[in-house]
Amino acid sequence: MRYEDTFSTASLGVAIDMTTAADRIRHVSLKIERAKVHAAALREVVRQFFDTQPYKVATRHDPNTRKLVYFISEAQAAPDDLAILAGDTIQNLATALDHLAYQLVCRDRGDAPPNPREIYFPIADDQAKYDASKKSKLAGASLKTIASIDAVRPYRGGSDALWRLGRLNNIEKHRLLFTVGSQAAGIHLGQLMSNLVAGSMPPDAAEAFAKMDIYLNPADKGFPLEPGFELYIGQVDELPDPKQQFRFQLALHEPGVAEGLPIIETIDELISTVDSVTKNLVNLLE
């Protein structure tokens, strides 16, 4: 739904402008701030989920190769609130950009845009589609406004974050929940190296390796994690190391758009991108 920035006084037959530059900017910033509230709630749900220690790791020796295998023995399902909060955040970010486009056109046309209900911030799958659709989505915008949005490059291959925001927003509008689940995020490389050098190097050297905060990122993350997934295969007859650590993360998994992307980092990137775009364009409203 679009709001009107003017009202008519029938007795005088004139339109009175009720919008200042500060008002226009506030319409945009309120949606961004609401997105940040949802993102903060999302981070809290993630924290609470990990506090439950939702994954358990066990070991076994492969009966054929005798190699040590670390595997998932238990894995809790990701909370539904994650998908809901991620969707709310993304919807508010996309709406903030649409409000920005609307206010830019209103500013250019003296609050009389030709198609007020059809103004959207143009985001496309590639530059050709963007160039073909931007004028219809910004009907009434000045050449300066269009050029300023062109500079943002809101399409895949330009600003991939904006493209992803647009695609995820479309998914969220047409389906109840995003696909969110758990995946492996790494094995502690320092502990592995500590075990390898134990006995062949001084104890201080092995201890130094164990303190290294370096994790080996797996090629197969196992999305969504289920019992039986193999996290790491060690050496023949190797003994299990109770100190060996593994990392896990909650991720979005929308094929072709956000396949196994960490949910918190992805949401933070989208917020940062919309913040940046808004700061670059709101000066046109002043």
Q: Cβ distance 56 to 72 under 8 Å? A: yes
Residue 155: pLDDT band with limits 50, 70, 90: very high
pLDDT at 174: 75
Closest CA to 105 of 47, 144, 73, 131: 144
Winning range, highest mean pLDDT, from 116-120, 160-164, 168-172, 217-221: 160-164
The string of pLDDT tens digits covering residues 195-236 is 877 766 677 777 777 788 889 999 999 999 999 999 999 999
Residue 176's pLDDT is 64
pLDDT at 193 over 90: no
Q: What is the pLDDT of residues 38-93, one digit of tens each?
A: 999 999 999 999 999 999 999 999 999 999 999 999 999 999 999 999 999 999 99
- CA distances to 2, 104, 275, 286 from 282, rounded to whole Å, are 19, 8, 11, 7
69 contacts 234 by C-beta, under 8 angstroms? yes
